[in-house]
Structure 1
Amino acid sequence: MKAITLDSKQESKLLLTDIQTRNLLPGEVRVLIKAAALNHRDEWCRKGLYPNIKDGVVLGSDGAGIVTEIGEGVDYDWLQKEVIINPALNWGENQKVQSSSFEILGMPRNGTLAESVIVPVDRLYEKPSHLTWEEAGALPLAGLTAFRAVTYQGNIQPGDSLLVTGFGGGVAQFAVQFGIALGAKVSTSSSSPEKLARAKALGVDFTFNYMDHNWISKALADTDGFDVIIDGVVGDTLNHLIQVTKPGGKIVFYGATLGNPGKIEARKIFWNQLKIMGTTMGSDLDFKNMISLVCEKKIHPIIDQVFKFDEAEKAFDRMRDGKQTGKIVLVP
């Protein structure tokens, strides 16, 4: 079958190739992929920046498709079902944190950028009927990460003031939509006027261009500060976020693309009794609850562009360059 694999010998580090499939083990299913989507971890693998990477592995964590084969012990009712795949494996029983054996589909085990993928049956959920294949394929990893950040870590309540930084990325667009669906007063930031206009169209209350040196005072004037901030950048921007967090508020970060902060405004943190916490992916309970919210509120993932598998390099480069608004989807 055709699959997009990591190959360090290629200039693009990607190779669309034929790979051998295998027989199913007990409790496994084979899913014919109808749509898959990119996440930044795929690009980090391409750059060699992800731990334990190896050539020949099929990339991709997001996917949706049809169950075409079931292994021993799997309920026959799964056969031919339209499904969405939870890419979080071995989270464990502790809702607070993932287990030491936790891993994500797509490295080190084969992922979803293939014509089919083998996964344990307990990773399957029925595809929300209101979603297209492309929307369903775009939801899993970024949606799960955003849902946990907003609900479990952020504990967003109706009427809370929420800031989601970096609108345009997958996690950020989901965090914005989940915050709105849960009744928060949502604001977002970006350096792109076009992305901010898209956020406004979704129902965001306030938008801020973080390249504007006055954005902090503008945010405080518009909102009086935020109860919860969801961020994937950190670096020295952490101190900016501290300035716009209400006393008793929370800063939840799911990534650190700018690295570690050079300094931290420690006095403001303890005096205002702020909570700064990390989050990643989510538990099986988080995924189940995310699907319920998506179905209840008829949430539609924002799709940036759809590429064919043989256009993978273009898709990866678009994500690398930060040009997307929403999720980049690939189809076989």
Structure 2
Amino acid sequence: MPEFPNIILFAIPFFIISMILELYVTTRDQLKRVKGYEAKDAFASIAMGLGNVFLGFFSKVVVLWALMLVYENFRVFTIPLAWWSFVLLFFADDLSYYWFHRISHECRLFWASHVVHHSSQHYNLSTALRQTWSGGFYSFVFWLWLPLLGFHPGMILLQMSISLLYQFWIHTETIDKLPNWFEAIMNTPSHHRVHHGSNPLYLDRNHAGILIIWDKLFGTFQPELKDEKVVYGLVKNIDTYNPVKIAFIEWWQMFKDAFSGRKSLKNRLFYLVKPPGWKHDGSGKISEELREEWLREKSNN
């Protein structure tokens, strides 16, 4: 098996330096539209990131085992280690990330781990470090088709790390809009600010990893609007800086909804697979309903 470096570990000093620079720029220029860093929030994000790195030593064992199992026993082709195979893998991995990210917003079982990343009401480079402690143990299912095609697991893990590194720099308000050609193809701070918005118009939009083209292709793209300032966080914020609560509060709430009270087995299962906000008695609202309601009110005004 080819050995590739764990570039996430090598990038940690870059993360720290970048956050210090961002903090300096936002403080120096006193940008009113930037909330900036709140110490407790930033430290909570960093704690989540450190926990993710630590647990990653264990989750990557599971991921590597699953990828190798498919590659060694079920692969259709054997794709060599060549420059063109990495080009193909770049697009295949990015498409996998798009669907993983989109389903993580549309299925509560995956949202239970992904909600961690959206739990901050601030948006800066430290927010990028606010990563799940549980998602790494099962989100890899969206990448299993890659070793089935014949991509080596080592290549896949390397490209997944490259995608994660790219997404670090887009978690900032210090960059407004980039050149039109770049905004048209690539995921940018502007596009990703939309993704972190709790505004009804922005909910569950711009799921891109590196390329924004997938959102445009599959109908989930929403540009950042000047007259609709992004409000960061969740529809219902969790209001805690405790890393353990941030990591597991949605798991607790999901299982509580699914297994408490009197409801049918079908509805219990629906609490695991339906989108966040869904309620069996109709009292909840999912993001599509919130968006449609907002658009109706907007048109009436």
Shorter-chain TM-score range? under 0.3
TM-score by length of 1: 0.24
TM-score by length of 2: 0.26
Q: Which has the higher contact order (CA 8 A, sep 6+)?
A: 2
Name the structure with the higher strand share: 1
